């Protein structure tokens, strides 16, 4: 055998062309066998994930923000995955097999046929109503909206709207989902809803300014409940209530759910109970919800529910309904390129993404980033894709702290957060994603002590460097932003050179959480900081506090101490 191999080796050395010819034939034969097995085998999974399109937030009373640009129509095919089904919307195994056999061959006509077939099969869960016109300034569905530029599917949109108790779910531009209790637009031709879902090529998800709308049949009962309404407090009756809260109705059998139901149907985000009168409206300068009263002043029993309070004619009990306040949701790029670069600087874990969300809602312009984070782009931060020097965004997210990087910016908003909270937030992000959590194994293992040793000094040097090298720095403490969002956001928007519209800022207060807030349900049951860690971090806090006071700024908030 060895002699035979030696002879073959000598033979091919003399005639290398024959060797490469045989090798090419061997590879070609292998490829043919592989392709044949791929086409002849049965597919084992269903659904299809697709890439992003553009989206824009809905807009009710228009506050001066222009329509977003529909600049591109991306179509990126991703690996197939099985569909997730909620408790109210389950698929039988027979349907799953039929979908898996359907494949994805043919053009738009075959996709439309399959889409119609899927709609017919799902009529017992969500009935397809048709294609409708949508207007970016006056949305057809005015409830909650969300975008997913990679994985949007019909079911995902229906599921999210149903969980929030809405009657209708609409899909637009392949990647946008809108919910609502009422359709406020006319029908369009079915041919105008011609864009496939970004996460599901077999279904249609609307078109350009066109909505594919479904009625959530099994969600109707949950839509009549007020369980997801948020209690805002007891407030004194505004002076001109007919202007402050323009819609009202007398309800002799008043209860919280009846008033919330009424305002939800009228598409208003605020429901105010005043004895036997129910008032609906938006938070405005006439009714800001900033001055809460003692709840005992509103403690008058409801006529229709003895265990509930319904307020009085002078003191209103206010709830926030499921209706989304869309006055601050439209966003766009700057109409002209900015001449100055403004940084939104922070240590990682200090709330930079949340601050970006607030700034975008308050100004109506996208924020950019020194980096590129695909997960943020896919969730609606469209400025993430732009180069940070493009000049098309209102400010630039950065965690950099070197002199050269800092001096690249003309001014900065410096966001500072309690290091104990910031370190834990960044550790969760690093090992669990933007809204996930690190596992207990990570907290208990070597990762946490190493992380604190490396990142705690950076928390201090980051602030010190920006105070030293920054040209025009506005210091905002994360804790102050949470405690007094309206005032702090006014300061931030002022530095950006934008005149803040007060009604828009009040709208932001109602939408402040955004899509990147951890649920808080998985808080650690123990303190991960050792006495040695505390001693070191307390030293850094004192250093930063002294540096702030040296520049005639207020020191760190009191809740950083005692540590």
**Total count of domains within the chain:** 3
Q: How far apart are CA 150 and CA 77, in angstroms?
A: 9
CA distances from 11 to 18, 24, 25 (A): 10, 18, 18
* 301/347 same-domain check: no
* 362/504 same-domain check: yes
Per residue in 174-233, pLDDT tens? Answer: 999 998 877 888 899 999 999 999 988 889 999 999 999 998 865 444 333 445 688 888
Tell me, yes or no, whether 56 lies in a domain: no
Omega of the bond leading into 427 within 30 degrees of 0 (cis): no
- For the segment 342-366, the average pLDDT, to the nearest whole number, is 94
Q: How far apart are CA 384 and CA 376, in angstroms?
A: 7
* 458/353 same-domain check: yes
Of 286, 320, 354, which residue is a domain's last?
Answer: 320
* 380/465 same-domain check: yes
* 374/470 same-domain check: yes
* 229/315 same-domain check: yes
pLDDT of 44? 35
* 363/447 same-domain check: yes
User: Is the per-residue pLDDT at 80 higher than 70?
Assistant: no
Tell me, yes or no, whether 108 lies in a domain: no
- Report which of residues 6 and 65 the model is more confident about: 6
SS3 assignment, position 107 = coil
Average pLDDT of the residues of the chain? 79
Per residue in 477-513, pLDDT tens? Answer: 999 999 899 999 999 999 999 887 888 999 998 888 7
Tell me, yes or no, whether 205 lies in a domain: yes
Per residue in 387-437, pLDDT tens? Answer: 999 999 999 999 998 899 999 999 999 999 999 999 999 998 888 876 678
Q: How far apart are CA 342 and CA 334, in angstroms?
A: 13
* 288/430 same-domain check: no
SS3 assignment, position 311 = coil
Per residue in 2-23, pLDDT tens? Answer: 566 666 666 666 667 667 777 7
* 131/197 same-domain check: yes
Q: How confident is the model at residue 522 (pLDDT cuts 50, 70, 90)?
A: low
Q: How far apart are CA 523 and CA 440, in angstroms?
A: 11
Of 216, 246, 278, which residue is a domain's last?
Answer: 216
- Parent domain of 201: 125-216
User: Is the per-residue pLDDT at 442 higher than 70?
Assistant: yes
């Amino acid at each position: 055998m060895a002699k035979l191999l030696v002879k073959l080796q000598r033979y091919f050395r003399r005639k290398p062309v024959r060797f490469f010819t045989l090798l090419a034939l061997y590879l070609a034969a292998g490829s043919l066998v592989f392709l044949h097995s791929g086409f002849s085998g049965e597919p084992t999974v269903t659904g299809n994930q697709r890439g992003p399109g553009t989206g824009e937030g809905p807009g009710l009373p228009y506050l001066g923000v222009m329509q977003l640009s529909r600049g591109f129509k991306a179509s990126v095919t991703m690996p197939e995955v099985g569909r997730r089904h909620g408790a109210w919307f389950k698929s039988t195994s027979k349907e799953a097999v039929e979908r898996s056999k359907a494949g994805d061959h043919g053009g738009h006509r075959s996709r439309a046929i399959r889409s119609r077939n899927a709609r017919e099969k799902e009529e017992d869960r969500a009935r397809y109503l048709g294609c409708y016109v949508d207007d970016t300034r006056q949305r057809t569905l005015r409830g909650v909206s969300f975008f997913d530029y990679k994985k949007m599917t019909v079911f995902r949109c229906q599921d999210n709207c149903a969980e929030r108790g809405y009657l209708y779910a609409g899909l637009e531009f392949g990647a946008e989902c809108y919910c609502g209790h009422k359709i406020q637009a006319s029908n369009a031709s079915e041919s105008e809803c011609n864009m496939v879902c970004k996460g599901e090529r077999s279904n249609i998800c609307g078109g350009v300014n066109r909505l594919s709308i479904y009625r959530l049949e099994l969600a109707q009962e949950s839509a009549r409940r007020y369980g997801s309404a948020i209690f805002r407090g007891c407030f004194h009756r505004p002076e001109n209530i007919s202007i402050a809260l323009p819609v009202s109705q007398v309800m002799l059998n008043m209860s919280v759910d009846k008033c919330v139901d009424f305002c939800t149907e009228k598409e208003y985000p605020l429901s105010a109970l005043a004895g036997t009168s129910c008032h609906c409206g938006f938070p405005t300068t006439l009714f800001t919800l900033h001055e809460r009263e003692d709840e005992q002043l509103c403690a008058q029993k409801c006529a229709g529910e003895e265990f509930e309070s319904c307020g009085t004619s002078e003191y209103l009990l206010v709830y926030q309904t499921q209706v989304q306040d869309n006055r601050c949701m439209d966003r766009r790029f700057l109409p002209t390129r900015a001449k100055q670069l403004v940084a939104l600087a922070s240590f990682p874990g200090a709330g930079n993404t949340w601050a970006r969300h607030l700034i975008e809602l308050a100004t109506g312009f996208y924020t950019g980033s020194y980096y590129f984070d695909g997960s943020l782009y896919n969730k609606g931060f469209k400025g993430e894709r732009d180069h940070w020097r493009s000049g098309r965004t209102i400010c630039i997210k950065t965690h950099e702290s070197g002199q050269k990087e800092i001096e690249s910016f003309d001014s900065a908003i410096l966001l500072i957060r309690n290091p104990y909270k910031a370190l834990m937030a960044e550790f969760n992000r690093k090992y669990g994603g933007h809204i996930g959590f690190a596992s207990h194994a990570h907290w208990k293992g070597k990762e946490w002590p190493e992380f604190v040793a490396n990142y705690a000094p950076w928390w201090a040097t980051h602030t010190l460097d920006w105070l030293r090298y920054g040209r025009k720095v506005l210091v905002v403490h994360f804790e102050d932003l949470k405690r007094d969002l309206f005032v702090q956001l006014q300061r931030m928007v002022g530095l950006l050179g934008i005149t803040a519209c007060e009604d828009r800022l009040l709208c932001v207060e109602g939408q402040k959480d955004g899509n990147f807030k951890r649920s808080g349900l998985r808080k650690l049951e123990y303190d991960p900081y050792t006495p040695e860690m505390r001693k070191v971090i307390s030293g850094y806090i004192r250093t930063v506090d002294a540096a702030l006071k040296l520049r005639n700024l207020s020191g760190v908030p009191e809740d950083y101490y005692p540590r």
